[in-house]
Chain A
Amino acid sequence: MPEQRTATLTTIFSDVLADLAFMFNDDSDEVQYSSDELWLESSVSYRGVAAGTLRLRCTRTFSVTLAANLLGVDPTDIDSDAKADDAVKEFMNIVCGQLITALHGTEHVFDLTIPEIHVLPEMPDMEDEGTGETVAITVEGQQLQLAYLAGDAPRE
């Protein structure tokens, strides 16, 4: 079941990324980021007859590329971190909505939290399984870590 959920999450994430931002997964092991690259963590939770949290860890470069593709502009036009952050949060909101339908069907109503994003103090361990169901994928040379955590969102 955890593997199924991870596969479902990966499929939905990739489909929304392709449909909305015209960005695609690649199988390359060659990731492109420098040691001083900023890493971000975004999460959104839902609650209803079931609860869960979706988490994404990505680089600032990925967030800027995502924002540019969503807005149909050049990455150099994404002139503030806020624009890039907003793109990631809305993207997570959409992925979460699709994931809920895939995991729990359309019968029940779920309440979603407002997506959050913050800068990580250091590059995350991409192999870290943590407490959730985690998968690392590469999108256009940028490594991302996706995780699904069943149940209520963990408290800080």
Chain B
Amino acid sequence: MARDILLVDDSATIRSMVKRTIQMIGLDVGDIHEARNGIEALACLEDYDIAVLLVDINMPTMNGIQLLTRMKDNARLKDIPIVIASTEGSEQRIQQLSDLGVSGYVRKPFQPEQLRDVLTPILGVLENAGTENSYTDDDLF
């Protein structure tokens, strides 16, 4: 069953580019929802059954780290896989994201193949094992 994805980025340009990329690389996904910040993302998570989030860090109102923290504190949301798509290249930040339980990281600008390589195992695992996450961080970072 195709699963819904939520794109969280304050840039409409990036959301459009990622949407086009996901369609281009042929991932079997359901609806692609969009949010401009963490607050909108949390509202969307209330309304839809989201399988994976692709989240920017640097956003107004509620940034990606704050969204991640909020989700990890919520029993219903804490196991939803999150992939960070950001301009940041700091090893310390990437370690922090890994410690917070992020499922993958792609650095902007990224190639379609990089996005496919991060999302495929997550969506594959979801397809094969319900919502249980059995991939490891080493597969994705």
Contacts and interface: CB of A to CB of B under 8 A. Distances in A.
Given A16-B109, A96-B87, A97-B108, A107 B92 contact: yes
Contacts, number: 61
A43 to B, nearest CB: 14
Interface residues of A, number: 26
A87 B132 CA distance: 37
B89 A87 contact: no
B138 interface: no
Interface string B83-123: 00011111111001000000000011100000000000000
B140 interface: no
Interface in A64-109: 67, 70-72, 83, 86-87, 89-90, 93-94, 96-98, 100-101, 106-109
B12 A86 contact: yes
Interface string A100-135: 110000111110101000000000000000000000
Interface string B60-93: 1000000000000000000000000011111111
A29 B2 CA distance: 52
Given A16-B109, A108-B92, A98 B11 contact: no
A156 interface: no
Interface stretch (B14-22, B27-35, B38-46, B47-55): B14-22
Say which size band chain B's interface belongs to. Answer: 20 to 34
Q: Which of A67, A100, A106 has the most CB of B within 10 A?
A: A106
A96 B90 CA distance: 13
Given A19-B109, A97-B88, A112-B87, 20 more contacts: A16-B109, A67-B13, A70-B13, A71-B13, A71-B17, A71-B20, A83-B12, A86-B13, A93-B108, A94-B87, A94-B108, A97-B108, A98-B89, A100-B89, A106-B91, A107-B91, A107-B92, A109-B96, A114-B10, A114-B58
23 contacts: A67-B13, A71-B17, A72-B20, A83-B12, A83-B13, A86-B13, A89-B11, A90-B11, A90-B13, A94-B87, A97-B86, A98-B87, A98-B89, A100-B89, A106-B90, A108-B90, A108-B92, A109-B88, A109-B92, A109-B96, A110-B88, A114-B10, A114-B60
